[in-house]
Amino acid sequence: MARPDPFRLPDQRRTLRTAQDLVAAAVVPSDRAEAIAAVAARYAVAITPTLADLIDRADPDDPIARQFVPDPRELDVRAEERPDPIGDHAHSPVDGLVHRYPDRVLLKLVHVCAVYCRFCFRREMVGPGGDAMSAEQLDAAIAYIAARPQIWEVILTGGDPLVLAPRRLAEAMARLAAIPHVKIVRIHTRLPVADPARITPALIGALKHEGVTTYIALHANHPRELTHDVRAACARIVDAGIPMLSQTVLLKGVNDDVATLATLMRGFVECRIKPYYLHHADLAPGTAHLRTSVAEGQELMRALRGRVSGLAQPTYVLDIPGGYGKVPIGPAYWQSSDDEQVTDPDGRVHTYPPDGGA
C-alpha cells in the first residue's frame, strides 16, 4: 500500500476576503455585512479556509474570530494610536529595510499575508496590492547589508515572507548567505498556522543555505491554532534542521488568562518551538478593544511563572512607540533596599539571604 503524503494537498476553497464571503461562510450574520464591509474598505481582510474552520460560529466571543474577523470598532481610532506604532519609518535607510539595532535588520520582502490579523501593527502598510520588493529595492537593501559588517542577523518579515514562491525565497536566501558577516536569517511567519499544507519540502529547502543558520519565528496566539496539521507542518520544519521560536501577541478576549497562555506555551514546547516573545499589543489604529493593560500582562506573567516549566516561559515585551526599541516589561521580583527582598510567583515576599542563614 502506498505511503501517505507527508502533508495534505492545498485546500482548494477560497480565502474569505469580503463581507459577502464572511456571510456566505456563516462567519458573521447577514445583518452585520454593511458594518463589516466598511471595515474591509479600510483594512485588509483575509481568512484562509484552515482558520475559518477553527471559528466557532456559535460563540460570539470566539477567540479565533476575534483575531481575524473585522470588527466595527476598528474604525474607532484613539488619539494615542498611530499608523507606524513601532517607528519603522524612522529607522528605514532604504526602502523595505529597517535598521533599529546595531547587529540586525528587518528586511520586508513582501507586503502581503495569507491571513490578516485585526491587531496588525503594520495594518496601514500591508494588504492586497502590496507588491514584493522590486529588484532595484532588493539590490539596494542587499548592498546596504553587505556594506555594514556589524549586521549579524537579517530578519525577513513583511507581510509574510513565506507566501513567496520557493524560487524567490531561495534567491533571497542565497544572496544573504553570500554576505560573510550575515550568520543568522530569522523568518517571521504565520503561514504554518494559516495554511499548513503550503509548508512543502520545496519551501523548506529554499530556506536552508550553507553559510547561514535559519530560524523560523511562528506567530500563534491561541492553543486551538496548534492543530494536528499545524503541528505536522512545524515538525517538517524542525526535522529539516531549522529551529523554531514563537511569537504571541497578548490580546483581550483571546489569550488574556493564564490557563490559555499556559496551554499555548506548553503546546509550542510540545512542537519543539521555544516560546520567545509575548508582545504587548501595539498602538495600531483601531485596536484598543483588543489591548490589555501592561499591569494585566505583568500579572499574567507572574501567574505563568508559578504554573509552567521554564521551557514554556516567553519574555513579555513592549515595543516603545516612536522607534525606541523593544524592552522586557515582565513583573519585578527583586527589591533592593536595606533588607534585600525577593517576591515568589505567588506574591509572597522573602528576605534574601534568609534570616539566620536558613
Specify the higher pLDDT residue, 316 or 342.
316
Q: Cβ contacts of residue 260 below 8 Å, gap of 6+?
A: 63, 222, 223, 254
Q: Residue 2's pLDDT is what? A: 41
Rounded distance between C-alpha atoms, residue 328 and residue 340, angstroms? 22
Q: How much of the chain, in percent, has pLDDT values that exceed 90? A: 80
- What domains sit in the chain, N to C, each tagged with a CATH number? 19-75 (no CATH), 89-330 (3.20.20.70)
pLDDT digits (tens, 9 = 90+) for 150-165: 999 999 998 899 999 9
pLDDT above 80: residue 7: no
- Average pLDDT taken over every residue of the chain: 92
Among 10-14, 62-66, 228-232, 268-272, which is the least confidently predicted range?
A: 10-14
Q: Are strands 244-250 and 325-328 parallel, antiparallel or unpaired?
A: unpaired
Of 227, 167, 221, 171, give the one whose Cα is nearest residue 196: 227
Q: Cβ contacts of residue 218 below 8 Å, gap of 6+?
A: 189, 190, 192, 193, 234, 244, 245, 246, 247, 268, 273
- Cβ proximity of 217 and 188 under 8 Å: yes
Of 93, 98, 97, 167, give the one whose Cα is nearest residue 133: 97
Q: Residue 6's pLDDT is what? A: 40
Catalytically active residues are 100-101, 104, 113, 117, 120, 122, 282, 319, 326
pLDDT above 90: residue 131: no
* Helix and strand numbers, DSSP H then E, in the chain: 11, 12
pLDDT digits (tens, 9 = 90+) for 174-197: 999 999 999 999 999 999 999 999
